[in-house]
Amino acid sequence: MADLLSKSQLVKTFIDETMSRETEAQQALRVETRKMSNSMMMSRPESDAFLQLLIRLIGAKRVMFGNGLRLFEFPAIPRDRQSVCVERDLRATAGSPQRFHFLLADAFVAPLRAGAFDTVLTPWFIDIVPVDVRETLSVIHTLLAPGGRWINHGPLNYPKDHPHAQRYTSDELFTLIRLAGFELGDAREDEVELLRSRHAANGRSERAITVAARKPATPPALPDGDPPCWLLFSHLAIPRFAGLDAFRPEHPVLAFVARAIDGNATLGDIAQRMVKEHGARADAAVAGTRAMLSLLYQSCRS
Ligand SMILES: C[S@@+](CC[C@H](N)C(=O)[O-])C[C@H]1O[C@@H](n2cnc3c(N)ncnc32)[C@H](O)[C@@H]1O
């Protein structure tokens, strides 16, 4: 017992020392991000989160393109005494990949050109982001070149605070993929083990969906439905629907939205104009514009 206690004390001291040692590059980053929070460019929690992401980006670059990275694994429940703290040597054993770039950005406002990608991969991503999967599908569809494909792998394990109406099941996801204008390819569901290390006595498993979809080279005719597809997704062109020409809304913002429907503009395009030309909040613009389009559509049909 005494032996075990002294060993655990040794490990604790070792962890404290290792964690408190910062490299010069880490110190410089910390100073820079503190400057940002002092100059009010970011709040302190934002600058801390940014710093963490930057450090991970630098680490990933060293693994893929540099001399590798030595890190320690501390399993929450070690398998045995030798597994309490395990040094790991992380490196790209097959050599540095060619034409591979890291980009640290919010995927929903990333500085990426529409149609620039022939493949988009989303591993363990679409359920974890605080965004409606429909919006994620719109972003992916926009980024893909005609003929490009999307490959998704991961569970539909939404966070507790994710709205219930947006907790799509796998069959609903497949329907949405088609309605978004993709050709649905192969799909499978498997029980996948994760967070399982040979040094840990515990681990998890989840049901992961692997699905491939293609953005057709020529946009398909989308099914008629209520609500129409262009109202469900922010990337589909809104047609000049029946009744629109004769409709004269009194409210100037509704009139603006009605005029913006030119047969090419999408919900996303009109939402962006709402931000730029009418001062709408960027995080509420798509939902607000969707509500106005829905009102217009219903009014024109009645
Ligand atoms: C469950 S993890 C999966 C990580 C990795 N793809 C994998 O398969 O191991 C989800 C990842 O999504 C990232 N993420 C969350 N919101 C994001 C956003 N708006 N833009 C880009 N990445 C985001 C998180 O930082 C996290 O790394």
Q: In the structure, what pLDDT confidence band is assigned to residue 35 with cuts at 50, 70 and 90?
A: confident
Separation between Cα atoms, residue 296 and residue 302, nearest integer Å: 10
What helix, strand, coil percent values describe the chain, rounded to 5? 40, 20, 40
Residue 108 Cβ contacting ligand 1 at under 6 Å: yes
Would the pLDDT of 133 be above 60? yes
How many angstroms is it from 246 CA to the middle of ligand 1?
47
Asked if 120 and 143 count as a contact pair (C-beta separation under 8 A), the reply is yes
Q: Which residues contact 228 (CB under 8 A, 6 or more apart)?
A: 222, 241, 297
Q: Higher pLDDT residue, 40 or 124?
A: 124
Mean pLDDT, all residues of the chain:
90
Q: What is the pLDDT of residues 169-227, one digit of tens each?
A: 999 999 999 999 999 999 999 999 998 999 999 999 999 999 999 999 998 888 888 89
Please tell me the pTM assigned to this model: 0.86
Q: Is pLDDT larger for residue 23 or for residue 71?
A: 71
Query: For the residues 36-49, what does the mean pLDDT come to?
Result: 82
Atom 3 (ligand 1): residue with closest C-alpha?
124
For residue range 3-23, list pLDDT tens digits in order.
Answer: 655 656 666 666 566 556 666
Quick one: what percent of the chain has pLDDT higher than 90? 66
Q: Which of 29-33, 242-246, 287-291 has the highest mean pLDDT?
A: 287-291
Of 46, 104, 129, best ligand 1 pocket probe by most atoms within 8 Å of the beta carbon: 129
110 — phi, psi (to 5°)?
A: -75, 145
Report the pLDDT averaged over residues 271-288. 94
pLDDT of 15 reads 58
Backbone angles phi, psi at 277, to 5 degrees: -100, -20
Atom of ligand 1 nearest to the CA of 153: 8
What is the rounded average pLDDT of the residues 112-125? 97
- Identify the pLDDT of residue 14: 60
- 220 neighbors 177 (Cβ within 8 angstroms): no
